[in-house]
Structure 1
Amino acid sequence: MKRRAALRAMAVFAAMSVGLGLAACGSDTEQSGTADQADLVMSIWGSTNDTKTYQERADAYTATHPGVKVTVKNIPIENYDQQVDTMIAGGSSPDIILVDSTRGPALASRGAILDLAPRIQSAGLKLEDTVDANRISGYNLKGKQFALPDRGGNLVFYYNKTMFEKANVALPKAGWTWGEFTEAAKKLTIVEGGKTTQYGVAIDNWPQAVESVTRSFGGTILNDALDGPAIDSPQFRTGLQTYYDLAAKLKVSPTLQDYADFGQNVNRDALFAQGKTAMIWAGLWDIPDFVKQGLSFGIAPPPSPDAANPTMMAFGTGLAVGSRSKQQDAAWAVVQYMFSVDGQEPIVANQQDVPSAKALIPEWEKALPQGISYADLTKASNQVFSPARPPQANQIAKQVEQDLYPFFTGSASVEEATSNAASHIKATLAGS
């Protein structure tokens, strides 16, 4: 759960270099290892606990396959893309590569990681038997499954129980409507002497919240074919404007200028931790911090204007096989094991994060602090979405955040900001 910095960096990280010329080399790599005899390298990013957990999982596999060795190589996230590219170009590609839904498509489009679909079919694997089906698409590029989901989690909605009970407002729950949410936010906003001392909700321009909210209104950043923008659609604009109006019109949330006035490093998470807002959109990694603050809080699916649309963006990572690995069979066997329930048990035991294996969620939930229930999130698993991404995902994510910033500061209309973003998306997809 302690993944805040890494997961936020993922969504907007700089694009991978594209000049490696790997598009057709996957099938030409000479194989020197077998499934039972191999010395593998797995590249990851993360904390010392991440290294420990991945190594334990690998060791659990090699304990029954003594001819196989797996070395986990932890690369700082700031240098991860560049170093992995350098390893691939230098002929020492990692055999197993940790990716996410923004890193993976770039590697897959260049043929740097394998399309696992043939191996999945040959093994008779039905991915949806292990993980929720709506988590799979985030590791798929134009029908090619470039990774298996490994760790999960998704955007959730935090609420301060004490504030709700004091205001005699019903607690958020699965199926909470946007109308119910806004009425609660109004009742939970306290203004004294012309100054807001408690906000009903705190929003900002965090990209994952923006995409989750606009998706719940039926809007998407890209079209279904991933070859053009949809960010300038009426659905996206309506969702974006409604979200921003919580601060600009309803005055139940701080504006970006308000955050700046509060002082350095004050954001929606900090306001919730300080007991100055009743609700926020955030990730599960915030739970330990809020527990330390002694807050009485709960988590639930975010409100939605239309139950037919998902409202919780999936977070997480997947495991891919390097196409330049000379030990692909052994690497695939390890990845397949780590995808299994047994292979993900150490994720729960070490409280590393949320396992993607749905059978382990009840066990993971037991480790949550007393009084915090995941039940409403489990009920709403169909509200999770993992958008497919094009190879230019990183560039687009970073540019969209920049293009929408003027809207969140009130210096551009929703039409101006989204039209500008659409133009940049078109140029990026066209390669200019």
Structure 2
Amino acid sequence: MARKSLLGIVFSVLLMLLLVVGCSNETGVDEGGKPSEGTKENQPTDEKNVEESLEPMTTDEITLTYASWSNPVLNQFLAEKFMDKYPNIKVEIVNLEFDGWNDHLTNLASTGDLPDVYWYLGNVDVPIRNGWLGDMTEYFNNDPESDNVLSTMKGMGYFDGERKLAAPAQYLPFTIYLDENLFDKLNVPMPSPDWTYSEMIDLMQEMTVPEQGIFGYNSFTQLLTMAPIVNQDAFGEFGWDGEKYDLTKDWADAMTQHAQFVRSGVHAPFFDTDEAEAAFGDRLLWAASTGRIAMQLDAWWTMGLFSQPEFVDKGIKWVPYVVPRGDNASALHKPAFTDFAAMSSATKHPREAYELMKFFGWGKEGWLAKLEAFETLKHDDGSLVFTFPDGGLPLIDDAEIWNGLKKLLPQTEYVSNFLERAKEPIPLGGASQPGFQTFLDEVYFGGEYGDVQAAIIDGSVNAHDISQNLTEMINKYREEAMEELFW
């Protein structure tokens, strides 16, 4: 299968988002997004507890609107389940094209039709500046179910440190796929599920065999994103620690390492290049489908694709590993694609909109409904709608939900090991950190160095030489964005 056709499958659910953000100690998370000493242990919650902690839901007949780029069949199923629970509430799914998503939201907002609950894409400055984000602080802080949200996710959405204006809605971890058959062929033992970052780097080199045309790794996700998070126990890209960024060490080291691997042939040739054509005989063939790549740095959603005949029939056996732990790390922080949801600041029913957002996102009842959909929904011909669970991993630390999802996934030790080590996700990018996307656009990919990553790979720029300047610039962009948006 050509890479372009594969991209059509893989990137239909592409979610380029987000970073961790600070919040107050009232939520059990300090202003750096780190769980505080006052964080409550996860405890079972029930509907009675929620009703006693939050104001009652309305009994009036109302309509709520919801928009996300999640699977439309799943969205409709969840809407029906929510309406079964609350017969007085009608839920209407607003279907928008993914391309130009924020433009569609802008158009709806201009006519007073912004959905009651919606996902926003990319630059969080846009919904903040336009006043789209409704304040859910009181609901989230007083909801017993919030105690069960994954510890690294609890603090996200507190953009000004006090008010919770958004919440994670979907979480898909970075995933390192290893071709077990290729490891067997080269008689190299598979690494421990508790492997470290330096072990991964060493394996990339060991698994590179030029005389057999075998490459150590291919990348969609990047070492430069992983390294600061796992090695610094960071709470976001570029070494974000909850107060500031630091690109001077792990980012610079990882970027330099990646550039060296690209130039030396440890990394596979890039798609649609003369080098790819020379190596694979087809410049448009995705390297991960050649059977000559030891590791594919990718994302959780690709696991369903890797189970297809395109790979299996070639004798490729991709198995999932979590991003390795930092060599001296004290946490299991892992980079993750995370989608954020918000309730409209103009909603007439904020209490009910919050409940809808939770049901579609992190709530246990909603997750039970998702598991039911994955297991039971069928097409007219009797085939399952979902051959692979299409909703990422749970956002709550609840054994029933995690075990329920595990049963629907391949029953292998690799999957079990992965799930056990994937409960400290760290989001990426501009959807949760003011000023971040503007920095990327104006400095990182379009400033004095041009495309920073490309310049370092081709050797025209040294990562360590520019890392201090980039650090100063990204912290400046954040400070200016915070001043503009919140003060």
* TM tier relative to shorter chain: 0.7 to 0.9
Superposed CA RMSD in Å reads 3.2
- For residue 356 of structure 1, what is the amino acid of its counterpart? L
Could you tell me how far 1:103 is from its partner in structure 2? 4.6
Equivalent position of 1:198 in the other structure: 214
Correspondence list, 1:143-154, <5 A: 143=161, 144-154=163-173
Q: TM-score, normalised by structure 2?
A: 0.71
Match of 2:238 in 1: 221
Amino acid at match of 2:157: Y
Unaligned 5+ residue runs, structure 1? 13-32
Alpha-carbon deviation of 1:9? Answer: 5.6
Q: 1:183 aligns with which of 196, 202, 219?
A: 202
Correspondent of 1:114 among 134, 146, 168: 134
Whether the aligned pair in 2 keeps the contact of 1:155 and 1:284 (CA below 8 Å) is yes
Q: Structure 2: how far apart are the matches of 1:187 and 1:322?
A: 52
Of the three residues 61, 68, 71, the one matched with 1:44 is: 68
Among candidates 5, 15, 35, match of residue 11 of structure 2: 5
Structure 2 partner of 1:28: none
Identity %: 15
Checking the alignment, whether the CA contact within 8 Å between 1:41 and 1:71 is kept in structure 2 is: yes
Aligned pair partner of 1:141 in 159, 164, 168: 159
User: 1:51: how far off?
Assistant: 1.6
Q: TM-score, normalised by structure 1?
A: 0.79
Q: Secondary structure in 1 aligned to 2:238?
A: coil
Counterpart residue number, 2:187: 168
Aligned runs of 1:65-144 on 2, under 5 Å? Answer: 65-99=86-120, 102-104=122-124, 106-108=126-128, 110-122=130-142, 124-129=143-148, 131-143=149-161, 144=163
Contact 1:40 1:331 in 2 (8 A): yes
Q: Distance in 1 between matches of 2:231 and 2:423?
A: 16
Deviation at residue 80 of structure 1 after TM alignment = 1.1
Q: What letter matches 2:225 in structure 1?
A: E
Relative distance call for 1:383 and 1:199 in structure 2 (3 A) is farther
Cα gap change, 1:362/1:198 in structure 2, threshold over 3 Å: closer, same or farther?
A: same
Q: Which residue of 1 is the match for residue 306 of structure 2?
A: 290
Q: Secondary structure at the match of 1:318?
A: strand
Say if 2:438 is the partner of 1:395: yes
Over 3 Å counting, the alpha-carbon distance change for 1:284 and 1:110 in structure 2 is same
User: Does the CA-based 8 Å contact 2:338-2:428 persist in structure 1?
Assistant: no
1:321 aligns with 2:343: yes
Counterpart-to-counterpart distance in 2, 1:371 and 1:381:
16
1: CA distance, partners of 2:224 / 2:425: 15
Shift of 1:53: 1.0
CA drift of 1:222 comes to: 6.3
Q: Which amino acid aligns with 2:419?
A: T
Give per-residue Cα distances to partners, 1:99-123, cap 9 Å, x unaligned.
Answer: 36x454642455311221211233x
Other-structure match for 1:352 = 390
Do the aligned partners of 1:11 and 1:394 also contact (CA within 8 Å) in 2? no
How far is the alpha carbon of 1:257 from its aligned partner?
Answer: 9.0
Q: Which residue of 2 aligns with 1:25?
A: none
Code of the aligned partner of 2:63: D
2:261 is the alignment partner of 1:246: yes
CA contact (8 A) 1:108 1:114 kept: no
User: In the TM superposition, what whole-angstrom CA distance separates every residue of 1:153-195 from its partner, at most 9, and x where no partner exists?
Assistant: 2101100111112222221333212343233333322222xxx
Corresponding residue for 1:21? Answer: none
Deviations 1:351-410 (A, max 9, x none): 222243443222222222454732222332355323583223333344535332211232
Maintained 8 Å contact 1:148/1:318? yes
Distance 1:91 1:365, change over 3 A: same
Structure 1 residues 426 and 356: CA distance shift in structure 2, 3 A: closer
**Aligned pair count?**
395
CA distance in 2, matches of 1:4, 1:103: 22
Q: 2:366 aligns with which of 333, 343, 347?
A: 343
What is the 5 A alignment of 1:397-412?
Answer: 397-398=440-441, 400-401=444-445, 402-412=451-461
Gaps of 5+ in 2: 1-7, 19-56, 375-388, 446-450
Q: Distance in 1 between matches of 2:440 and 2:332?
A: 20
